[in-house]
Amino acid sequence: MESEMGMLWEVALPEFLLVTVVLGGGGAWMIGRSTALTWNGWGLMAFYVLLLNIAVRFIHFSLFDGSFFIPPATFGTAIYYGLIDFVVLFALAAAGRSYVRSRQMSRQYGILHDNHG
């Protein structure tokens, strides 16, 4: 089963969950929240998630012996797992953005959100 799921994480599942989902996901949620609160676009959010993705890849590299973008020998592997991390982080940032934006819209335009069932 490990070889089948090795396409999603580089070293181990707990490392992926801790670094990408918990630490990076918390940061991604806050990125989505901040872009919704300041009414910025999706492009800026994607740029911020890209910067967070570089930081997440560095944590994978420095603490768990993962790959990083700088050594040419591991560049392809780092790009592959970086894309997976980016998709996960962007999804969490989009969820945070949608959550905050829907709260903003329901507060601003109460007629759009009816709580009567």
Per-residue pLDDT tens digits for 55-74: 999 998 899 888 888 888 88
CB atoms within 10 A of CB 80: 13
| Angstrom distance (rounded) from CA 32 to CA 96 | 5
The pLDDT, as a whole number, for residue 1 is 31
Model pTM score: 0.85
Shortest CA distance to 31 belongs to which of 19, 42, 20? 42
Q: Is the pLDDT of residue 83 over 50?
A: yes
CB of 97 closer than 8 Å to CB of 104: no
The pLDDT, as a whole number, for residue 112 is 65
The pLDDT, as a whole number, for residue 54 is 95
